[in-house]
Structure 1
């Protein structure tokens, strides 16, 4: 394929639909109602293509800086497209179910063939076909779902697990290093592998880490500025580097927006608490060579208390099941052409939030008498500039940078007998800096098209500071990286080879060098085979990795003196042991091997079916190697962690390196001569986890009279996961047990409507869980909720929407707790919100 042909193929398509011969040219005959404001030409063309159910192919370079006129009235899709490009110098060529738009010379070339839609996430090569399915959540999907926070969007996805750093995670809820709510942030957590193992990007860029985790707070991003979210649930460290073990989530902003809109939303839970207010402004202006968009969002919600819910009876009525949160968010995004072939863009994000919660230590005494009062504050700032340049010969350069900070503050007050016994201030600070540059373009031509390459490199610096009563922690991690990716097309549709409609191979390799870890090389291979136009088969294999967080690695361990009789048998009463537990600076990267096989089937217009099978072998996971120290000296499984008759000098080194020195739990003076064993229970790269399952999805859009349509969607994720704590130990089940993802999660929806109104309903289902914390497991039944939303335009530019989430008020199952401070249901899988009713008013100018 020539350079010009590949440039034409590099673009944005609408929904990929295979049309039957009887309907192939219907979009050129049937009239539809269009009502589009003046906006970016690419956005207008995509809107027409999506409404008409046709594929759109156009070069991003041909659209750069172009603005459409408004489009109002009934007309055919061809008339609409011709009207939009009139006077632009672009020419449209119409083929079976597709329109190709380019400069006059390119559009009139008879052998041009429509190619792939552009893939933004999961590859650095424009036009490379995706070897695994890409899940897309559009702004329209978010509004139809009644969601006004990206955290809500994340938690609604079947592939995502609600555990991790999310608001509402309670006390004693699984792994404390993962299921924590440091500052009210919301994060993605694909497969339940951990929020740090899902890489989240904003317009393709990393932003500042939040709290003590290597994640970004997606609730900081105003929903009104989001164009769509792309999710690739496949290991991608060869493309993006660390943390992309479970997959990549890319939040893409609106590129151009002309006008101003304001929204207000109020709502609350019918069972009490969770009274929400949200107000937002979105404004933008585009011009011939660029555009600017700004979004501001303010929201606040009241707390949900245990006394508001009948399943909260095991806790103090004043204990908060969901904290009170207030948040201000500001986002600015712009782009400007500074020459015929150079474009400068930048995204800026700022968020300030406040969270308040309380925990009672007694059923009858209020938290301000006996319990905890917690205040957390968060302030996020980040800016990411990008420079792109067209170099000729279809080669492109892209340079990008990022600077951002995330500051968490606040305090925790401990009350006893009505008096303030202790105040613990908290202060976590993250600063991230990154620079990256890359090139992409064609190497040489094959009969099926150009062999294309992308390569580049860069550097990142992460700085972390934490104030602690036992000593401040300040650490920095630097890394440099280089990457390369290759696309090899073997057959293409233009060759018309039976059984080989399309066949292509991709390969990627990335090198990373860290200041506090060994160098890492991660490969990735992919294959796309389309036997016929309507069926795509894909395979992807690769290695990925995750670095431990700086807090996880450097926050310090404890050294404890204890009597030996508690840890082994046959020792005299005078014998002692020393054990060390907690973070260890010697830990390193966690590593995975990922394999995904997928199929995408488009048998009819508007219908797409997708299936993917995946397997993740995750090794070297950081974990404490001994679940219980009781009897550890008698268990040969832990022999490698025990040093008998330790040398006094070695013990002194362990004690000197401990955060608080030696903590004496023996009740008698420390004497190295009496220490019969040293037990090293510090965290290490020792655990192994295996994840496998199947993702299924279906989407069917049926065009009706006028501009109305009926969309049926369904998605489900089956998951099997287990863990082996150290070699030789038994494998334990994860998925389907308390505080871990369910074996199955699904979401099905039905949306009907058009420009004037829409109705949508969604059913969410989660299979049951086993509470296996005791000898006899307790079954927690399956959980199903129904959501309903309605939107209507009541006058010009005004829209009113009503959302009823969890319409039938399904409730979590109460679980056994050991203490009143423990949360009485599984907050990683269930929400305390219950039935929520909200109304939103939106005005556009």
Structure 2
């Protein structure tokens, strides 16, 4: 700790930088040099290319590429290596959109708005910003820093920084309208409208933007690949040969007697008799190769559910700048956004425990029902109760006031940011569990008839009185004040040594709550938990130093100390080198350390519940003819996930070595080799990893002749339970610090410009290639030290390559743009019984093409139209029919028409 404090003191004495662009007159010369602020440094500099790689994307390029919002543009970027969430349905994240640089998770990518932290979404546990709330009409450009920057910005900047720069000075008014429609039926059409106005005088300027967006939902059945199907040559009577289907239809689960776990309630009919609404959603009975005595009624939830939610968004942004004196400037910004979305899910699935035994009997309609014992259960789809509908309302308020000034010795600046993000969800179509159980009737032996509701009987509907609603409310608050000053310390032969020192304090509050019945797990189809409540104060001091060692070599040193009220302090240094051996060649290198504080939800989250389909590795281990690796037994279960107030911060080390080469006046190449290692990863372990780890623990124990350890020995507060025949029953997971993650790769950008008599040609190629992505953990158990982890790169959901290509042609008032997005193929290698590597599962590569045309009109108007995903590509599927919603779009081919009018 003393060494860290000494390092910090030295860094503070030496440090450097300015956060705003200023004009400086060089001493002894009449030449005026404009110094600009670049994301990733608080230093002002003349050259856009610094020691850390920054890519600048202007708003016009985003629109020309076919995108009409920030979230979609960043998610398609080659920097978003493994994809990120972009909205959907059937979960609380329906209204959200994120970006994840280097495939490290959106919570490890810092998103800034004009250099200040963007409000975090409580829906995503306060760990990520929701890009869906940003007004595209107000964006001037986006700066992407593909390097760690915790020494500059503090927490979350491990994998990179996205800095969204808003328009600052605008005179006049502008109206924009855009209509987009998909070539497929079933929804997904959108409509956008925005209005921007601004004015200025000698001392001030003002700009205001209002943007409205709305998009229709896409229903699941409109996409053929979401409908259940039987694999080629498969048996429709086998659950193993079905894809895109749920076990939660009508299936009795035995509480004891290991001869079987699943059976249909009907002894003389197939499951189609449960279809009462013409949707033909119930399928079966089906058996299983893995569990040959089991029978189940399956359910096709695609007949009712949506793939995406409908949304209705409004954003209002106002910016005011004023020169208070010739040396002092005021900047103020207020930003309000609301996003209203509607999420439709299939009818509630529930587990009903029989409060008493019920005999087998034949109903008046001729259905013979299977007997059940007290304590037996039935997986029951409450189709007669109707679909579940959740309405989400996101509301953001963000205020910024900053003052900056110049003095004889340098400059100073201060900024106050206040933001609030609220989310409220109202859900209907749910059921109260205790009421449902109490509605089950009795069989009267004397009259040979059933009184009340019998969930086994296709003609016995759920009585009224069991319906329930849910409501959730979550909010995130942050107040951030920062101040700093910069100056030139002294002169060296190669130039001035500049220094900057600053300090900041941030207070955060997070709260998430849910109605008491859902919190107690009394609602069928609810999330089953609450996020909890917490608050913290974070204080920081930071500094930066720029030293021109020679005319060709610059050194940048930065250091930051952060102290959090709930887990302690951390010091993070950063070193950058910038060397120009030739006028057209720049070599840069950087090293930095970083951290990510656990979110307040990570620390204080109550238990939540999710539904997963995972591989049953433990059962494969117990089956002599199968191996753990290559296991194909898959079960569907509920998983409970909880927070952990003992979490520590993640730490990281990142390095970068790159070149910037101006090959020709109009051709440039940048290439950056990077490496990132993250320790103490905060994570809710994946259910699949837990099942795999439990099997490996059993394997090692059996080989050593030792008792089989529980998974809790490897991952504390984690548990798995099994049904008598080996089926997975449920799982409990706690958020933990686990192991480390290593990534390595290269980012390349090639740009060219050519002016001719027949127009201007532009080309930009961006490539991100990841060579290593390994998650590992070494844990001591009663059977010895175990190392868990493999190189994931190239496996399904982890493509090694992302490529963007943009070609643009301009001639007078005409502009034509082509944009393509490439995602490389993925494959999983599995071991066969002869211990040879074989390809067991493959996902093909994908290339999508966007084309747009823009025409400038004589009356200050502009018309644009285009086609996104020209060849109407579907996502790429694995052998189970699954695909990554983070990587692939489900919209198919879309056509749009837009018009802009300036005044």
Q: TM-score range by the shorter chain?
A: 0.7 to 0.9
Residue in 2 that maps onto 1:424: 470
State the aligned residue count. Answer: 682
The structure 1 residue matched to 2:60, chosen from 134, 140, 149, is 140
Measure the CA separation in 2 of the matches of 1:107 and 1:286. 32
SS in 2 for 1:153: helix
Aligned partners of 1:356 and 1:374 also within 8 Å: yes
Measure the CA separation in 1 of the matches of 2:428 and 2:823. 37
Measure the CA separation in 2 of the matches of 1:358 and 1:749. 37
SS in 1 for 2:116: coil
In structure 2, do the counterparts of structure 1 residues 190 and 690 end up closer, same or farther at CA, with 3 Å as the change threshold?
Answer: same
1:262 paired with 2:175, answer yes
The structure 2 residue matched to 1:485, chosen from 541, 544, 553, is 544
Residue in 2 that maps onto 1:684: 736
SS in 1 for 2:548: strand
Residue in 2 that maps onto 1:439: 485
1:409 paired with 2:320, answer no
Residue in 2 that maps onto 1:325: 311
In structure 2, do the counterparts of structure 1 residues 163 and 714 end up closer, same or farther at CA, with 3 Å as the change threshold?
Answer: closer
Measure the CA separation in 2 of the matches of 1:716 and 1:318. 40
- Give 1:791 shift: 0.3
The structure 2 residue matched to 1:123, chosen from 29, 41, 46, is 41
Measure the CA separation in 2 of the matches of 1:717 and 1:756. 34
- Give 1:834 shift: 0.6
More displaced 10-residue stretch of structure 1: 723-732 or 757-766: 723-732
The structure 2 residue matched to 1:188, chosen from 99, 106, 110, is 99
More displaced 10-residue stretch of structure 1: 361-370 or 455-464: 361-370
SS in 2 for 1:333: strand
Aligned partners of 2:101 and 2:109 also within 8 Å: yes
SS in 2 for 1:777: strand
- Give 1:824 shift: 4.5
Aligned partners of 1:221 and 1:349 also within 8 Å: no
Residue in 2 that maps onto 1:606: 666
In structure 2, do the counterparts of structure 1 residues 160 and 568 end up closer, same or farther at CA, with 3 Å as the change threshold?
Answer: closer
Which whole-Å deviations, capped at 9, do the CAs of 1:806-839 have from their partners, x for residues lacking one?
Answer: 011111134466xxxxx94321110111101000
Aligned partners of 1:190 and 1:198 also within 8 Å: yes
SS in 2 for 1:109: coil
1:594 paired with 2:654, answer yes
TM-score by length of 1: 0.75
Aligned partners of 2:157 and 2:594 also within 8 Å: yes
Matches within 5 A, 1:376-391: 376-391=392-407
Measure the CA separation in 1 of the matches of 2:415 and 2:659. 34
The structure 2 residue matched to 1:216, chosen from 115, 129, 146, is 129
In structure 2, do the counterparts of structure 1 residues 544 and 635 end up closer, same or farther at CA, with 3 Å as the change threshold?
Answer: farther
Which whole-Å deviations, capped at 9, do the CAs of 1:444-479 have from their partners, x for residues lacking one?
Answer: 000111101111101001100111324672210111
The structure 2 residue matched to 1:60, chosen from 1, 16, 22, is 22
1:797 paired with 2:860, answer yes
SS in 1 for 2:754: strand
Measure the CA separation in 2 of the matches of 1:747 and 1:125. 30
Residue in 1 that maps onto 2:632: none
Residue in 2 that maps onto 1:547: 597
In structure 2, do the counterparts of structure 1 residues 122 and 639 end up closer, same or farther at CA, with 3 Å as the change threshold?
Answer: farther
Aligned partners of 1:166 and 1:181 also within 8 Å: no
Which whole-Å deviations, capped at 9, do the CAs of 1:697-748 have from their partners, x for residues lacking one?
Answer: 1111222349x4211111110013121144432322333333x342101011
1:786 paired with 2:849, answer yes
Measure the CA separation in 2 of the matches of 1:792 and 1:258. 22
SS in 2 for 1:392: coil
1:288 paired with 2:237, answer no
In structure 2, do the counterparts of structure 1 residues 516 and 758 end up closer, same or farther at CA, with 3 Å as the change threshold?
Answer: same
Matches within 5 A, 1:83-482: 109=29, 118-127=36-45, 130-161=50-81, 163-168=83-88, 182=93, 184-210=95-121, 211=123, 212-272=125-185, 273-314=187-228, 316-360=302-346, 369=385, 372-393=388-409, 395-415=410-430, 421-468=467-514, 469-470=519-520, 473-482=532-541
1:813 paired with 2:898, answer no
In structure 2, do the counterparts of structure 1 residues 286 and 432 end up closer, same or farther at CA, with 3 Å as the change threshold?
Answer: same
- Give 1:253 shift: 1.1
Measure the CA separation in 2 of the matches of 1:527 and 1:581. 44
Which whole-Å deviations, capped at 9, do the CAs of 1:232-260 have from their partners, x for residues lacking one?
Answer: 11110000000000011111111200000
- Give 1:567 shift: 15
Measure the CA separation in 1 of the matches of 2:199 and 2:890. 41
In structure 2, do the counterparts of structure 1 residues 773 and 553 end up closer, same or farther at CA, with 3 Å as the change threshold?
Answer: farther
Aligned partners of 2:18 and 2:42 also within 8 Å: no
- Give 1:164 shift: 4.1
In structure 2, do the counterparts of structure 1 residues 190 and 631 end up closer, same or farther at CA, with 3 Å as the change threshold?
Answer: closer
- Give 1:643 shift: 7.2
Which whole-Å deviations, capped at 9, do the CAs of 1:428-452 have from their partners, x for residues lacking one?
Answer: 1011110000111211000111101
Which whole-Å deviations, capped at 9, do the CAs of 1:498-541 have from their partners, x for residues lacking one?
Answer: xxxx2111111100000111210001001001101100000010
Residue in 2 that maps onto 1:504: 554
SS in 2 for 1:426: strand
SS in 1 for 2:870: coil
In structure 2, do the counterparts of structure 1 residues 754 and 222 end up closer, same or farther at CA, with 3 Å as the change threshold?
Answer: farther
Which of these two proteins has the greater Rg computed from alpha carbons? 2
1:583 paired with 2:583, answer no
Measure the CA separation in 2 of the matches of 1:680 and 1:361. 25
More displaced 10-residue stretch of structure 1: 728-737 or 717-726: 728-737
Measure the CA separation in 2 of the matches of 1:834 and 1:140. 24
- Give 1:354 shift: 1.1
In structure 2, do the counterparts of structure 1 residues 722 and 215 end up closer, same or farther at CA, with 3 Å as the change threshold?
Answer: same
In structure 2, do the counterparts of structure 1 residues 666 and 832 end up closer, same or farther at CA, with 3 Å as the change threshold?
Answer: closer
Q: Show structure 1 runs of 5+ residues with no match.
A: 1-8, 13-58, 63-101, 172-179, 493-501, 560-564, 570-578, 645-650, 668-678, 818-822
Which whole-Å deviations, capped at 9, do the CAs of 1:658-686 have from their partners, x for residues lacking one?
Answer: 9xxx999999xxxxxxxxxxx99633211
Matches within 5 A, 1:63-82: none
Aligned partners of 1:542 and 1:594 also within 8 Å: yes
1:839 paired with 2:897, answer yes
SS in 1 for 2:62: helix
CA RMSD after TM alignment: 3.6
Measure the CA separation in 1 of the matches of 2:683 and 2:347. 29
Measure the CA separation in 2 of the matches of 1:292 and 1:324. 34
SS in 1 for 2:103: coil
Measure the CA separation in 1 of the matches of 2:143 and 2:845. 29
Measure the CA separation in 2 of the matches of 1:375 and 1:750. 41
1:742 paired with 2:799, answer yes
Measure the CA separation in 2 of the matches of 1:293 and 1:801. 25
Measure the CA separation in 1 of the matches of 2:794 and 2:425. 36
In structure 2, do the counterparts of structure 1 residues 700 and 558 end up closer, same or farther at CA, with 3 Å as the change threshold?
Answer: closer
Aligned partners of 2:656 and 2:672 also within 8 Å: yes
More displaced 10-residue stretch of structure 1: 720-729 or 357-366: 357-366
Residue in 1 that maps onto 2:679: 619
Aligned partners of 2:120 and 2:128 also within 8 Å: yes
- Give 1:556 shift: 3.4
In structure 2, do the counterparts of structure 1 residues 755 and 292 end up closer, same or farther at CA, with 3 Å as the change threshold?
Answer: farther
- Give 1:346 shift: 1.5
Measure the CA separation in 2 of the matches of 1:840 and 1:187. 25
